Amino acid sequence: MLQDYQATGILDKQSLQAMAAAVQADYFLHLRVSYGEECWQKATACDIRQVLDVSAHIWGSEKGDVVWQASATAARTVIEEIESRRPMGELLAAACWRLMLGFPPE
């Protein structure tokens, strides 16, 4: 099932319904976090920028469809990391916070 999802981006409806019955869930949350570095051009030098991308999908188990999705990004330069001495977890928390701001209110 996961191999099919990775190839197509679609979860098999029957598998999703079987998982839902097994754990008694109406919805499933899928989170994906990716990390990358890129060269951020400044006036005379290149600073490395760390980028975290977070995406979330919520699937309804009855129809097997995506009922909510969002993505967010947080980034900082390596110089900012050195100067602030903040752990990577803070960058992840910032990306997750931005992601959740897009969640619809009840």
pLDDT tens-digit readout, 14-68: 888 888 999 999 998 888 888 888 776 766 666 787 888 888 888 888 888 888 8
For residue 106, tell me if it sits in a domain.
Answer: no
The set of residues, in sequence order, having a beta carbon less than 8 Å from that of 72 and lying 6+ positions away, is 53, 54, 55, 95, 96, 98, 99, 101, 102
Best CA proximity match to 82, nearest among 55, 51, 50:
50
- Total domains in the chain come to 1
Domain encompassing residue 69:
2-101
Contact 57, 68 (CB under 8 A): yes
For residue 65, tell me if it sits in a domain.
Answer: yes
Residue 7 pLDDT grade (very low, low, confident, very high; cuts 50, 70, 90): confident
Helix and strand element counts for the chain (H, E)? 4, 3
Tokens read off for 87? 């752990």
